């Protein structure tokens, strides 16, 4: 960490900074320049927070040298992590196709959509049983009943199922049914939940928070990894900006940026990012072209009657027609679209 002091910092102030650096077990390298004194802190800076120094009155700026995350970084592991569940892969040259309804709304609906998307080439099923909703008056999901329908869909299709976990108290329940645990954008910094899924032996899809920087997203992945679970799939789903034409601004750059910084696979959720059905295919294509290891697509048998997220759900027919086009994009970047 490099600490730049304000012009006119006193000898006593310089000493205080040095003392603080040493209290973390690091050593100091101090350069007194004409205009500024600069102190380098040498050693493992991971346990030292920049804020600890930014707060000192004599400090002007602080620059981290090393990344604040370790286990999830490319420096720690050069090769791409490939997550495999029931024979289906995410990462390593395969573009996974995760499809299904936003919410599990009923048995017939879940099994119907599940079979349809499986027959089109989906490699994972998705469906929410616990739904985080902005309004307390909106449909909150079917709970365990929804999980049971997901399980039946898995039995019929043979595909692994992914579903969201919102509350540490539901872990045992969700783990019993799900192959992949999803942590939603609003829980990306629910650190207690991250710690709990870190103790599991199940892959975790970690969605990026609405206003999370890439570094914060990787720090949340580090929470999971630091508990022992390294089967983490990062999922870009758009960030919040001033633009109102789309529900969120899909940050397609985050895909190549994260793949440079981390060995973890990165997928994209164009349905939530866009909030509009007509944008799902262009964004899915863009994500794959930019290097995504998978796309998560909402499919609903009757979007007009969906209990949640209708606007962005494809009908099964539209989903089927999109597949050959995504397949060509995957091939153009030297990858294979799973099962398609």
Please give the residues from 25 up to 84 whose contact with a second copy meets the rule CB under 8 A.
29, 31, 33, 35-36, 38, 40, 42, 46-47, 49, 51-57, 61, 63, 65-66, 68-69, 75
Total site size for a second copy, rule CB under 8 A: 109
**Judged by CB under 8 A, which of 12, 79, 172, 260 binds a second copy?**
260
Q: How far is the CB of 227 from a second copy (least distance, A)?
A: 8
Q: Which of 28, 82, 173, 210 binds a second copy (CB under 8 A)?
A: 210
CB of 169 to a second copy, least distance (A): 6
**What is the smallest separation between the CB atom of 61 and a second copy, expressed in angstroms?**
7
Position 310 contacts a second copy (CB under 8 A) = yes
Nearer to a second copy, 157 or 281 (CB): 281
State the minimum distance, in angstroms, from the CB of residue 87 to a second copy: 27
Asked if 246 is part of the footprint of a second copy (rule: CB under 8 A), the reply reads yes
Q: Which is nearer to a second copy, 85 or 292 (CB)?
A: 292
Out of 92, 112, 275, 301, the only residue in the binding site for a second copy (CB under 8 A) is 275
The answer to the question of residue 337 lying near a second copy (CB under 8 A) is no
Q: Map residue 31 onto helix, strand or coil.
A: strand
3-state DSSP call for residue 59? strand
Least distance between a second copy and beta carbon 35 (Å): 6
Listed as own residue / partner, the contacts of 41-47 with beta carbons closer than 8 Å and 24 or more positions apart are 41/1, 41/2, 41/3, 45/1, 46/70
In terms of CB distance, is 152 or 216 closer to a second copy? Answer: 216
The residue count of the chain comes to 340
Q: How far apart are the first and last CA of the chain?
A: 48
Neighbours of 51 (CB within 10 A): 8
Q: Which is nearer to a second copy, 57 or 87 (CB)?
A: 57
Nearer CB in complex with a second copy: 205/290: 290
Q: List Cβ neighbours of 300 (8 Å cut-off, separation of 6 or more).
A: 101, 102, 113, 306, 310, 313, 314, 315
Phi, psi of 338 (to 5 degrees): -50, 130
Ordered DSSP codes for 317-328: HHHHHHHHHHHH
Applying CB under 8 A, which of residues 93, 158, 228, 282 lies at the interface with a second copy? Answer: 282
The 80-119 site mask, x for binding a second copy (CB under 8 A), equals ----------------------------------------
Contact between 211 and a second copy per CB under 8 A? yes
324-329: long-range contacts at Cβ-Cβ below 8 A with a sequence spacing of 24 or more? 325/281, 325/285, 326/95, 326/97, 326/281, 326/284, 326/285, 326/288, 326/295, 329/285, 329/288, 329/289
Q: In the numeric block, which tokens belong to residue 1?
A: 């960490």
Residues between 121 and 140 that touch a second copy (CB under 8 A): 132-138
Name which of residues 221 to 240 contact a second copy (CB under 8 A).
222-223, 226, 239-240
Q: For the residues of 77-133, what is the DSSP string, one character each? A: --SPP-EEETTEEEBTTEEEEEEE-SB---HHHHHHHHHHHHHHT-SEEE-BSS---
């Amino acid at each position: 960490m490099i600490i730049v002091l304000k012009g006119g910092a006193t000898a006593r102030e310089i000493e205080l900074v040095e003392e603080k650096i040493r209290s973390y077990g690091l050593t100091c390298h101090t350069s007194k320049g004409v205009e500024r004194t600069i102190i380098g802190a040498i050693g493992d800076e991971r346990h030292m927070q920049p804020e600890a120094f930014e707060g000192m009155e004599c400090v002007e700026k602080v620059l981290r040298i090393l990344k604040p995350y370790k286990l999830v970084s490319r420096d720690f592991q050069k090769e791409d992590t490939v997550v495999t569940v029931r024979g289906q892969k995410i990462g390593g040259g395969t573009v996974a196709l995760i499809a299904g309804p936003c919410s599990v709304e009923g048995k017939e609906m879940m099994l119907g959509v599940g079979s349809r998307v499986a027959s089109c080439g989906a490699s994972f099923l998705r469906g929410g049983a616990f739904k985080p909703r902005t309004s307390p008056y909106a449909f909150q999901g079917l709970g365990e009943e929804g999980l049971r329908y997901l399980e039946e869909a898995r039995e019929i299709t043979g595909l692994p199922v992914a579903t969201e976990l919102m509350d540490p108290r539901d872990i045992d329940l969700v783990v019993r049914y799900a192959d992949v645990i999803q942590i939603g954008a609003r829980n990306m910094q629910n650190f207690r939940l991250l710690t709990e899924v870190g103790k599991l032996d199940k892959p975790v899809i970690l969605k990026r928070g609405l206003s999370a920087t890439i570094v914060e997203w990787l720090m949340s992945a580090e929470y999971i990894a630091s508990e022992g679970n390294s089967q983490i799939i990062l999922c870009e789903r758009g960030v919040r900006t001033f633009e109102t034409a789309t529900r969120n601004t899909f940050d397609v750059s985050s895909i190549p940026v994260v793949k440079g910084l981390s060995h973890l696979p990165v997928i994209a959720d164009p349905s939530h990012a866009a909030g509009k059905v007509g944008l799902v295919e262009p964004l899915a294509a863009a994500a794959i072209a930019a290097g995504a290891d998978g796309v998560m697509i909402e499919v609903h048998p009757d979007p007009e009657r969906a209990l949640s997220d209708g606007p962005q759900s494809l009908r099964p027919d539209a989903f089927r027609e999109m597949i050959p086009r995504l397949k060509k994009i995957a091939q153009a970047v030297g990858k294979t679209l799973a099962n398609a």
